[in-house]
Structures are given as C-alpha cells and as structure tokens.
Structure 1
C-alpha cells in the first residue's frame, strides 16, 4: 500500500522519530497510520464534528504507540499496554477513545489485512451516568422572566432562543440549524433534519433521523416575534447585531450561565433546558413514545435517560396496592 500523509505526520517523520532502520522501513505492509487515515476517510463526510473528534483521539492517544507499526503486528497485549499508559481524564474518555481505535482495526479486518481483531476482547469500562438535572417550573419561570426584562434590543433574540430551548427540547445544534422553510405554522410542526456542527450546517441530525416536533402555544408566540426579527433571513436564529446566523451555541450557553447566580438559581448547563422539557412532558403524563419522538430518542434510550420521571404517578398507584395486601 502506498504510504500516505496522515495530517502533518509523514511516514518519514515516524521512522526518524522511532529510529526505524532501513531494513524495517522496507516492510511494505500497511501501517497503523495508513489505516487510521483510511478509517477517517470512510466516515460520513457530513459529520465533520465526529471526524475531527476521532482524528484528535487517533493523533493524541494511539498514533504515538502504533503509527509506524505494521497493523498486522499489533497484538491485544500491545493495545492493553497502550491503554494502561494513556492518561485518560475519566472512564468515559477512555471508552470514547476506544471507538476510533476499534474502527481502524475493524476496517483492516474487513480488508483482510489482519486475521484477528486485537480489540476483540477489550471491553468498555462501566460508567455511572449522571441523572438529568432539569430546572424546576419556578426556576424556569424566574430564568425566562429575568431574560425577558433584561435582554432587550439586539439581545431580545437570546431570550427568544431560550424560550425555544425550554419548550421544544431541541438540541442546541438543531435549533441553530433550523430554517424558516422547516416551520409549518398551520400544522404546528417544525422539521428537525439537520444540525449545526463546528459552525457549519450538517444535513443530518445526531441520530440521522428526521422528526417533526410539535409547536405549543408558547413557541407560536416566539415564532411570531422571530418572524418580525429574522424573517428576512433563512435561519430562525441569527445575531441581531451582525445580521448573520449564529455559529457557536457555546456563546449562548455562557450568557445563560451568567443569569443563574444573579437570580439565585443553582448552576446547571444550558443543555438542561432540553432535560427540563422532557421531564415536563413526563410530569404532564404525555405518552412515553410521543415524548421520546419529540426529543429525537428511541424508546429504549429515552427510558434509560428519564427512568426516574417515567410513570411516577402510575408507579405510586401500583405500590399503594401493598396497603391492601394480605
């Protein structure tokens, strides 16, 4: 296989750094670096965020150990040693780092370059996921009231954005990618078919599935005001200061965080607006399958994330039967 440049790290650079002899360099078998590049090339071109993430993981975590090695020579023991020597900040980070590593070896296995997967028996470590930490109804009201009274003029759209977040449950990237063409006021629906990633609109969602979310009365009021402010643009949410679409949801999150201590609300990420909407639906006894669809989850994922809030009243009714048991 012809040696390929992997970012700015060439095979020659690798050989010099590792003091590889001419005899070793004459080995023309595919290197790990070759298949790392092939793996990155095989990823969906529309998802630049994932590609960048995996590229960074491969470069920083696995290339220092395996870049110059023939991929067929890498053993499970070598992989375990590399895992042990890597400095992972958390169990989740370690598990995430294994995803592109497995992808590289899977591709080499499909191409019959290797006979066995060195990652076959390497399992992810178990992690305990934090429960969603939604805002309570009174907290949501206090946040939005403050924003409405203090965010005026060009800042008004910040307030409208967070009303949208609290009452649609969209992921931030989905909200910032939405166009006016996606809004169907007559049927009270919005088509969620794309997301904003690294400042660019990607023509797919996180789950690669299109959904049509329901627009409640609060959102219809927001849309009416947005139409007057941003109707001349294709995108719903734009900067009223620059008249350009927003490209960085993290900046909006920073503005959100500034509000919480001022009004005495416990700090949580702006992403928890999404959790707030999910739990609001469940507390309103909306069917789980309908709530999951609105959030862009399958039933199993939704149930795992929001198990604490699902069927709470029904469970209490069932447990009351204990009082009447023999």
Structure 2
C-alpha cells in the first residue's frame, strides 16, 4: 500500500474506508466514499474530489451534491471527459488579461445562470433541449440581460467546438431577443453652453479639471473609458490628432478600445484649448486627465458622472446622463453637414452602427441638403 504522502491531495484512508476532504458551507469536512482502500479506489477518490472541487470553486456545491456524489457508480467516476465547468474556466482564462472587467462580468453570469445547471455535466452531453430548458427556468428582467447571459455560454461551447470536444453548437439556433434602442437624447447648443458655463463658474481651483473633462467630452465625443486612458504621448500636436487606442476598465488601462480598432481623432480648436490648459495642470504626469486632489490618474468615471448630475441640478436642466455629451458631439457633427462616414470614424463606430444610432439626425441632415435645391423663383 502506498504511503499517505502519495495519496491524491485531500484523500486519506481510515481503516477499510477512503475519505475525501471537501469544503461544504464554508467548512472543510472529510466524507467517506464507497471505494476500497486500493490503489484504484484511492485514484478514483481523487477524481471524485476534483469534480466536487470544481463545483465548490464556482460556488454551486451543496451537501446534497456531496451526498449524491458519494454514492455514484464507479462507471460515472471513470468518465474523464471534460465537464462544462472545465471549459467555462478555460474560456475565462483565455479572455484577454487587459479586460478584467469583462472577465468578472462573464464569470458572474456563468456562476449565476449556467453553473447550477451544467457545472458537473460533461460538455459533450449538453444539447440544445437542455439549454432551452435552462433558459425557460431562468428569469431575466430585460431582453438585454437575456442576450448578455448568452454571450459567455456561447463562448464556452465555441471553445469546446474548436477543440473537437463537441460536434455541434447547442446554442446555434437560440436567438437573441429584440432590444428596443432608445434614441439618443443630446443637448441642444444652448443647453451645452449653459452647462459648461455653470461648470466653469462653479468648478474652480482643483475642481477645474472636472470642467475641462466635460468640455473635452462635449467636443470630442470620446467614450469616458477612452478619455481617462489618454496619455500625453497620444497627442500629436503637429497634426491636431489624438490616438485613441486604450480604455480604462476596472481601474486598469486596457490596450484595446471597445471595438478593438485604434483611431486618431481630429481635435477642433475647443478641444485643443482644453489640452493646452491641461498641459499646464497635468503635464507633469503621463496621463492627460488626472485628479488634481490626489495628483493621480482617475481609476473610474463614476465620480465624474455624479459631478455631472450636480451640474444638471445647478442649471435646472432636464436631467440626462453624462454619456449624452458623446451623443451631443455626434449630432453636432451631423448638423454641421459633416459626412456620416467621417463622423462615424471620429466616434469609433462602423458606419452601419453609426447610421443605426443616429438615423434621425442623418435623415435631417440629408433633408436640409435636399431643401437647399428648392427653386423659389416664380
């Protein structure tokens, strides 16, 4: 008989019994399993413990699971095909290390929605009917939440398909639900002017950088995560452009944009004036936008959004989220007769997405051009 030091981790022999150490309810317990203390029995105990540990890692292990597992047939323990939990973990591990926020989101979705159904099931045994049954058992508060839940699930099966573990994708005929997109709600030029004037008057001293941030947002249309990741090395003064190639996600800089396409945005005179003032205030740091209170780069935009809400209150403006600064710039470009393809590039959209979001303003711009052709002579 092999010595105890050669037993699989968490496995021990007590008399004629084999026991495994499993965390249940936050406490570690030794559970006796129906295996003889032979080399084969000890090996299979190690496999069983590994399966239960996977469930424990995903937070789905219950006492009932352990009780059921401890009475499984040997043939079930001998099934060494990869489980859904195995591929779920591999899928998360394969996500870009720069996108920690996405990894956290997808792990949360897998843990909440899919692991309770499929964690201990061999991924090759999961079919479309099982996925539909799980979907029918779940409750989603909105179509977008439903669609988001399918993203990592599809990713797990796609990885297993590429590895040849499954012959078909059980999710391929499961469609997303239609999501009604609200029209953008941009600020009118007079509203933008009033907001910026309130910010300029009320945010002085170290608060001035908040005003400069929103002036930049109104006149570049950058996503907040893009703005907070800009370094001074991204600014090309000779060509009046700024390279947008990074985002601030989960408090860390990710070297990729939301669409994974780098772009060089053109900065107009207003945006250039913002940069010139920021150069005086933050030029000693590598990052363009920093907190003047801490002299450190911001790690998230939530506080800035809260400050924007203060400006809404201070100006008695109809309340809208800070993200509408971006919509304001897009519609300003269209109302200024800038070609939609050029505006789409500036915003970091493909042309089709841009046309979908700003269809109303594109049509207005086209109509204005057409109306100029009217002949008013008698």
TM-score range, shorter chain: over 0.9
Cα shift at 1:227: 0.8
1:175 maps to which of 227, 236, 250 = 227
2:160 maps to which of 108, 118, 121 = 108
Output the CA distance in 2 between the equivalents of 1:295 and 1:85.
40
List, as ranges, runs of 4+ consecutive aligned residues in structure 1 with deviation greater than 4 Å: 2-8, 316-324
Judge conservation of contact 1:133–1:272 (CA < 8 Å) in 2: yes
CA 16–226 in structure 1, closer or farther in 2 if over 3 Å, else same: same
Aligned to 1:9: 57
Moved more, 4-13 or 18-27: 4-13
Which protein is bigger by CA-based radius of gyration? 2
Aligned to 1:74: 126
Cα shift at 1:269: 1.0
SS of equivalent residue, structure 2 residue 228: helix
1:197 maps to which of 249, 261, 267 = 249
Judge conservation of contact 1:15–1:25 (CA < 8 Å) in 2: no
CA 187–130 in structure 1, closer or farther in 2 if over 3 Å, else same: same
Cα shift at 1:135: 1.0
SS of equivalent residue, structure 1 residue 310: helix
TM-score, normalised to structure 1's length?
A: 0.93
Cα shift at 1:52: 1.5
Structure 2: 5+ residue stretches without partners: 1-46
Aligned to 2:278: 226
SS of equivalent residue, structure 2 residue 265: strand
Output the CA distance in 2 between the equivalents of 1:202 and 1:149.
34
Cα shift at 1:76: 1.2
> Which of the pair is proportionally richer in helix?
1
Structure 1: 5+ residue stretches without partners: none
CA 319–217 in structure 1, closer or farther in 2 if over 3 Å, else same: closer
Output the CA distance in 1 between the equivalents of 2:366 and 2:78.
70
Output the CA distance in 2 between the equivalents of 1:232 and 1:132.
37
Output the CA distance in 2 between the equivalents of 1:172 and 1:131.
20
Moved more, 290-299 or 78-87: 78-87
Cα shift at 1:10: 6.5
Aligned to 2:195: 143
> Which of the pair is proportionally richer in strand?
2
TM-score, normalised to structure 2's length?
A: 0.80
Output the CA distance in 2 between the equivalents of 1:264 and 1:8.
52
Output the CA distance in 2 between the equivalents of 1:10 and 1:297.
36
Aligned to 2:72: 22
Output the CA distance in 1 between the equivalents of 2:59 and 2:325.
47
Judge conservation of contact 2:246–2:256 (CA < 8 Å) in 1: yes
Output the CA distance in 1 between the equivalents of 2:328 and 2:224.
14
Q: CA RMSD for the aligned pairs? A: 2.4
Aligned to 1:272: 324
Matches for 1:217-256 after TM superposition, within 5 Å = 217-256=269-308
Aligned to 1:40: 92
Judge conservation of contact 1:168–1:277 (CA < 8 Å) in 2: yes
SS of equivalent residue, structure 2 residue 242: strand
CA 150–7 in structure 1, closer or farther in 2 if over 3 Å, else same: farther
SS of equivalent residue, structure 1 residue 212: strand
Judge conservation of contact 2:55–2:85 (CA < 8 Å) in 1: no
Cα shift at 1:44: 1.9
Q: Deviations over 1:215-264 (max 9, x none)?
A: 11111111111111101000011110110000111110011012212211
Aligned to 1:84: 136
2:215 maps to which of 163, 168, 183 = 163
